[in-house]
Structure 1
Amino acid sequence: MTDALRLVDITEDHLEDVLRIRRQSFGTMASGDRDEWWKYAVKFLEDGRYVGVADGDALVAAARFWNFGQWWSGRRIPVAGVAGVVVSPEYRGRGVGSLLMRGVMRRGVEKGFPLSALYPATTVIYRHLGYEFGGSRYKYSFQSADLRRLGGKDVSIRRAGPDDAQRFLEVASRVNESRRSNGVLIWPLDEIEEWLADEDNTAFLADDGFVLYNWAGDEELSVDELIAGSEQTARALWATVGSGSSIARTVHAYLPPGDPIHLMIETEADKKAEEQRWMLRLLDAPAAIAARGFAPSAVVEVDVRIDDPDVPENSGDWHLTVADGVGELAPAEAADSMRFGPRGLAALYAGTSLNVLRGAGLAKGPATNDAALDAAFAGSASYMLDYF
C-alpha cells in the first residue's frame, strides 16, 4: 500500500471505474444488465452506502451494502448486507480489501446497523475482519407432480401484484415472528414491489401465505419464496406451483432445512441439495444483543470480555443478561470472564454451541455458563432465502 490510499465515498463520477474493476473481477456484464446495475448503484451512493478506496485520484476498490432487516429468534434487526466487493487486480494482496471492508464496517456503525452479513468469495479476508459463518442458503429440488398432489383446494388464493407488496411483508413478518425464525432477510418494500411487477415472476397470495416463483429452464420452475402460516395454505400454494407438472417437471426451491414441505411430500427432495454459506458480524454488540430474541425460558447472567480490534466500541468487559426472551449487554468491571473475539461472538449469536466454539478456539474462559448460553441462543437453523 502507499500513503496515497484513502477511503472515499463513491459518487456517480466513480461508477465507470467501478464497472471497470467489476469487469476485471467477475467478467463482462450482460448488455441488458448495465442500466439496472447503474440504477441500484445510484441508490446506494445517494444513501451513503457505497464506499471505495482511492490511490491518489484513481479508484481502486469499492463495496456497497444493502439496508435489510433480518430475523433473529422472531425479532427483526437491521443488517448491512455487504455486496459488490471489488478490488483492482494490481492492488490485491496488498491490504486494500481489508482497508475497504474496515471502511464499510465503520459506515455501517455510523448508519446504526447492529449487524452485517455477506456471502464470501473467500473466507480468509472476512475472518480476519471478524466475520464468521452465520448460516446457509439451501436449495432443494422436487418433482412437480408430487407437489401437485398436496391438495389444499379449500384455500382461497389469488394472483398477486405490486399493490400487494405491503401485504407480503405483513404475512412474512407474522409467520417469521411466530416461528422465531433465524437469519431470514426482509427486503425493502420498493424491491418487493419490483419483483411483483416483473412479468417473469408469478406470485399468489392467500390470507396467511404467499408464493413467488419463475421459470428456471425449459422444464423447471424456481420458487424464490413460499411462506405459509398453516398446513392447508402450504398445501394449496405448493400444489399451485406443481399444477403445470406436464410441462414443468422439476421445481427448485430455496427453503429452510426444516420447512414443513419435507414432512408433507410423499417422496423426499432430490439428494443433490445445494448449500451456500453466509457470514455474520456484530457491528454494535450491545444493540445487537438488545434487538435479538432469545429462548423465552432461558436465564443467563455471565461476565464476558470482548476483544474486537476493528470495532473497538465492542471491546471491553461486559455483563450479559438474558431473561424472558430479552437480552442486555451492559458495561461491567473486569472479572474472571468468558472471552470472545468478534468471530466467536458472531457464531454464538447465530446459535453455534459453546462446545463447538471452544473446540475451534473461539471461546475461552470459565465453562460454568456454557449450558445456559447454549439454551439462550439456541433455536431453528439460521438460513437465508436470498442471494445479494
Structure 2
Amino acid sequence: MTDPAPVRELGPADRPAVDRMISLAFGGRSPRTEPEPFPAGVTALGIDGPEGDLAASLLLREDAIALGAGSVRCGGIAGLSVHPGHRGQGHFGALLREALARSTARGDAFSMLYPSHQGIYRRLGYQTVAQVRRYVLPLADLQGIRTDPSLRISPVLAADMPALRALYLAMAHRENALLLREGPLFGDDGLPAAPWNAVIVRDGTSAPRGYLSYARTADGVGGTGLEVFDLVGEDRAALEALLSWLGSWSTVVSSALVRTRTEDPLLDVLPGAGLRPDPRTVPLVMMRLLDTAAALEARTAPPGLEGEVHLEVEDAAVPEGVCRAAGVRAVRVRSGRVEVLPAGSSPLPRTRLDVHAAALLLAGGRTLAEARRLGLRADADPAAEAFLDTLLAGPRPSVLDFF
C-alpha cells in the first residue's frame, strides 16, 4: 500500500463530488450538480485519487456541547466516506487524523460522531459513550392524561423562538453531551424551515413552561406519521400537557417516533406500557478526548468537593502532537472551580486512564469501576478514585441531534 495523497481542504467546486461520495456511501440523497460553498461552520476535507478524482472526504463541524453544568467546544465528524474504488489505501485514517489535529488546534475538547458500529473509530481513540434513543410511542397510550387546567398550548411563532431556546438551554445544561445549538450551524432565532413545527405550553401568567417540536411525516415504522424532535417540560405538569396534546393526533396517526435523552423524565410520565425501541439501526454516540485540561476545566465542581489528584492519560491511538489528551497533570478543585496544572513532585493520590476510559469518564455519568468492567484501563488510588467519581458524576451523555 502506498502512502495516501495529502489531505486538502475542499472548496465549492468539490461540493458535487462530496455529495456523490456521501450518496454512494450512505444513500438517501440527490447529489448536487453545481458548485456550492459548504455551510458556515463546516470544514470539508478530502484526499484526491491518482487520476485527480476525489477518493475520500469528511465534514468537520464546529459544535459546542453541555458538560458538567458548563460547556466545551466539540468537533463533529459527518459524512466520512471513501470511494469504493479507493478503499484499503489508508484514506480513512489519514482523513480522521487530520480532522482530529485541526479540531484540537482550534480548541475543541472532544470529537464526536455517530457511527452504526465502532470499527476503525475505536482504533483511533474513540469510545462509545451512549446511543441515540428513538422510540415508537403509540398515541392511544396518551388518551386520558389528566392535565393542569391552568396550562394552555399554542402554536410556536417566530416571537416564541427565544423562549424555546431558553427552555432548551436550561434543560441541556442539566445534561451531558447535548449540542448547545449555537454558532453558524444553527443560525439565528428565526423559525426553522418546514416541515419543522412546534407548540409551546404556558401557565396562567403566560410564562413558557415547555415545548414540543415535531414534523408530520409519511407513515413509517409502526405506523408512525409524526417525528418528535424535542419534548421539553420544566416539570411533570408541563410534560403531561404536551403528551396530552400529542395524543390528539391519534385520529390520523397511530404512533409517533420520539427522541429521548438517556435519563429522560418523559419516560416516567408516560401512562402506558406500549413504548418500544425504533426497530431500525440506531447510531452509537462515540466521543474522542482531544484536550484533557479543556474537558475538565469546563466543569463546575459539585458543592463540598475540595482536593487535588494526579491524573495520567495514556494515548497511543494517534501520533504524539495530534491531540492534547495524553500526559500527567494535577487536577485541583477549590471553591467549585476545577483547575488543571502541571504535575508536581508532591505525593498526590494518582489515577491512570487509557484514552478510551478518559473519554468515557470525562463525558460524564460513569465511574472508574464501570470503566474497568468494560475492560478499559482505569487504575487509581482509592482517594483519587473517590475524588474523580464525585467530580465526574452526573447524567450519562445524551443526544437529540445527530449528523
Q: TM-score, normalised by structure 1?
A: 0.87
> Kindly tell me: are residues 203 and 271 of structure 1, through their superposed partners in 2, closer, same or farther at Cα, counting changes over 3 Å?
closer
Aligned to 2:38: 42
CA distance in 1, matches of 2:272, 2:92: 46
Asked if the contact 1:354–1:363 (Cα under 8 Å) also holds between the matched residues in 2, the reply is yes
Cα deviation for residue 181 of structure 1 reads 1.0
Contact 2:22–2:81, Cα closer than 8 Å, also in 1? yes
Partner of 1:352: 366
Whole-Å separation in 2 of the counterparts to 1:127 and 1:313? 18
Map of 1:377 onto structure 2? 392
| Aligned residue in 2 for 1:137 | 132
CA distance in 2, matches of 1:244, 1:312: 49
Matched residue, 1:286: 293
**What secondary structure, in the 3-state scheme, does the structure 2 residue paired with 1:141 have?**
strand
State how far apart, in whole Å, the 1-side matches of 2:382 and 2:92 are.
36
Contact 1:135 1:183 in 2 (8 A): no
Note the C-alpha offset of 1:363.
1.8
Query: What is the CA-CA distance between 1:235 and the residue it aligns to?
Result: 1.6
Could you tell me which amino acid in structure 2 is paired with residue 370 of structure 1?
Answer: E
Aligned position for 2:247: 242
Deviates more, 1:123-132 or 1:337-346: 337-346
Matched with 1:213 is: 214
How far off is 1:69 after superposition? Answer: 2.2
Q: Distance in 2 between matches of 1:128 and 1:67?
A: 23
The alignment status of 1:111 with 2:112, answered yes or no, reads no
Comparing 65-74 with 76-85, which one deviates more in the overlay? 65-74
CA distance in 2, matches of 1:244, 1:281: 41
TM-superposed CA distance for 1:197, in Å, is: 4.0
Selected match of 1:302 from 275, 297, 309: 309
Alignment of 1:184 with 2:174, yes or no, is: no
**Identity fraction in percent:** 25
CA contact (8 A) 1:321 1:327 kept: yes
2:79 match: 84
Distance apart, 1:108 and its partner CA: 1.0
Runs of 5+ consecutive residues of structure 1 not aligned to the other structure: none
Larger mean CA deviation between 157-166 and 57-66 belongs to: 157-166
Aligned equivalent of 2:328, options 283, 303, 317 = 317
Q: How big is the shift at 1:369?
A: 1.9
Contact 1:306 1:342 in 2 (8 A): yes
Contact 1:152 1:239 in 2 (8 A): no
Q: Pick from 258, 265, 285: which aligns with 2:270?
A: 265
What CA distance in whole angstroms lies between the structure 2 residues aligned with 1:101 and 1:348? 23
CA change 1:38–1:283 in 2 (3 A) is farther
Question: What is the distance in 1 between the residues matched to 2:195 and 2:330?
Answer: 51
Partner residue in 2 for 1:96 = 91
CA offset at residue 312 of structure 1?
Answer: 4.8
Bigger proportion of residues as helix: 1
Report the equivalent of 2:204: none
- Please give the alpha-carbon distance, in whole angstroms, between the structure 1 residues aligned to 2:256 and 2:211: 16
* 3-state DSSP of counterpart to 2:215: strand
Instruction: Describe the superposition over 1:26-47 as per-residue Cα deviations: whole angstroms up to 9, x where unpaired.
Output: 23x444x748x986x6115xx5
Matched residues in 1 for 2:376 and 2:236: separation? 43
Report the alpha carbon displacement of residue 101 of structure 1 after superposing the two structures with TM.
0.5
Root-mean-square deviation (Å):
2.8
Q: Which whole-Å CA distance do the structure 2 matches of 1:259 and 1:284 have between them?
A: 29
Counterpart code for 2:108: F
Alpha-carbon displacement from aligned partner over 1:213-244 (angstroms, at most 9, x marks no partner) = 12244352221111111222222222112112
Q: Which residue of 1 aligns with 2:15?
A: 15
Deviation, 1:55, is 4.2
**2:284 counterpart SS class:** strand
Contact 2:48 2:55 in 1 (8 A): yes
Q: CA deviation at 1:195?
A: 8.9
Are the equivalent residues in 2 in contact too, given 1:211–1:227 (CA < 8 A)?
yes
Cα 1:114–1:300 change in 2 (3 A) is: same
Q: Which residue of 2 aligns with 1:229?
A: 234
Give the conservation status (yes or no) of the 8 Å contact 2:292–2:326: no
| C-alpha distance 24-214 of structure 1, shift in aligned 2 (>3 A) | closer
2:196 to 192, 201, 212: 201
- Mark the runs of 5 or more structure 2 residues left unpaired by the alignment: 202-207
Kindly indicate whether the alpha-carbon contact (under 8 Å) linking 1:295 and 1:379 is maintained by their aligned counterparts in 2. no
Tell me, yes or no, if the aligned pair for 2:76 and 2:111 is still in contact at 8 Å.
yes
- CA drift at 1:126: 1.2
Give me the whole-angstrom Cα distance separating, in 1, the residues matched to 2:160 and 2:120.
40
Distance 1:21 1:262, change over 3 A: closer
Query: Bigger shift: 119-128 or 5-14?
Result: 119-128
Count residues in correspondence: 380
- CA shift, 1:194, in A, is 9.2
Q: Distance in 1 between matches of 2:72 and 2:126?
A: 17
Superposed CA offset, 1:142-184 (max 9, x none): 222332433244213321134543332212112333xx21121
Aligned to 1:387: 402
